[in-house]
Structure 1
Amino acid sequence: MGVDLESLSEATSGAIGSLLSTTILYPLDTCKTKYQAEVRAHGQRKYRHLSDVLWEALSNGQILSLYQGLGTKNLQSFISQFVYFYGYSYFKRLYLEKSGFKSIGTKANLIIAAAAGACTAIVTQLCH
Structure 2
Amino acid sequence: MAVDLQSVSEATSGAVGALLSTTILYPLDTCKTKYQAEVKAHGQQKYRYLSDVLWEAISTRQIVSLYQGLGTKNLQSFIAQFVYFYGYSYFKRLYLERSGFNSIGTKANLILAAAAGACTAIVTQVRLI
TM > 0.5 between the two? yes
Give the equivalent residue in structure 2 for 1:8. 8
Distance in 2 between residues matched to 1:110 and 1:91, nearest whole Å: 11
Q: Which amino acid aligns with 1:73?
A: K
Q: Which amino acid aligns with 1:32?
A: K
Give the equivalent residue in structure 2 for 1:27. 27
Distance in 1 between residues matched to 2:43 and 2:72, nearest whole Å: 35
Q: How many residues align?
A: 128
> Can you list the C-alpha shifts for 1:71-105, whole angstroms capped at 9, x where unaligned?
00000000000000000000000000000000000
Q: CA deviation at 1:42?
A: 1.2
- Runs of 4+ aligned structure 1 residues displaced above 6 Å come to none
Give the equivalent residue in structure 1 for 2:49. 49
**1:105 paired to 2:105:** yes
Unaligned runs of 5+ in 1: none
Distance in 2 between residues matched to 1:26 and 1:83, nearest whole Å: 21
Alignment of 1:107-122 (within 5 A): 107-122=107-122
Distance in 1 between residues matched to 2:51 and 2:2, nearest whole Å: 50
Distance in 1 between residues matched to 2:82 and 2:102, nearest whole Å: 25
Q: Which amino acid aligns with 2:84?
A: Y
Q: Which amino acid aligns with 2:35?
A: Y
Give the equivalent residue in structure 2 for 1:66. 66
Give the 3-state SS of the residue equivalent to 1:42 in structure 2: coil
Q: CA deviation at 1:127?
A: 5.2
Unaligned runs of 5+ in 2: none
Distance in 1 between residues matched to 2:20 and 2:127, nearest whole Å: 23
Residues 9 and 101 of structure 1, relative CA distance in 2, 3 Å threshold: same
Distance in 2 between residues matched to 1:125 and 1:41, nearest whole Å: 37
Q: Which amino acid aligns with 2:73?
A: K
Aligned-CA RMSD value:
1.0
**1:87 paired to 2:87:** yes
Q: Which amino acid aligns with 1:53?
A: V
> TM-score, structure 2 length as denominator?
0.97
Distance in 2 between residues matched to 1:110 and 1:127, nearest whole Å: 27
Distance in 1 between residues matched to 2:24 and 2:15, nearest whole Å: 14
